Structure 1
């Protein structure tokens, strides 16, 4: 699979779809942001800066302050692939985020999403 297209896609262009997916199921933008902050280490200001700069996924994850040490606890299937078995690190990070937003929209509590 050629992943270059998603790697070069602006994170800011996909972010509204994460919010829309969550809101359709009664969740909030604040919860999506909390997931992103937990996963990447961004805070409100640094995250907004990334959105304003319209960085691509590759840059977004490369500049993330610190990936959460509990990411290895994120398991399961997303888009037909097991996230824990993905060889491409960037694709795995993108799919981690997809998986967490999926869990949010499926009604999981934040404690479960954050593997606490």
Structure 2
């Protein structure tokens, strides 16, 4: 009987050690998106992207893993770009210039981020 208890305890212990809870990462906040894209302001108004801009775009792209992440980032970009004058058609060029896939859409104030 003691042998069964010992084996049962070992089995439960192994199960507890091997179990890992599922962790859901939250979508990036608008503050995070703003800090990441701040070096890209010049590009959106006509300049070439800086290395810091491309690094940020790559990091931001890596954080857009789920649809919820992509929608959150898109909505943040929409909100952040309301206060600046820029050409929304330059947004997808940022992906091309920085070698990032998938492309960022041409986000403007009327863009539907849910699609």
Tell whether the structures are fold-level matches, with TM greater than 0.5: no
Identify which of structures 1 and 2 has the higher relative contact order when contacts are C-alpha pairs closer than 8 Å and 6+ apart.
Answer: 1
User: Which one has the bigger helix percentage?
Assistant: 1
TM-score (normalizing by structure 2):
0.26
- TM-score, length-normalised on structure 1? 0.26
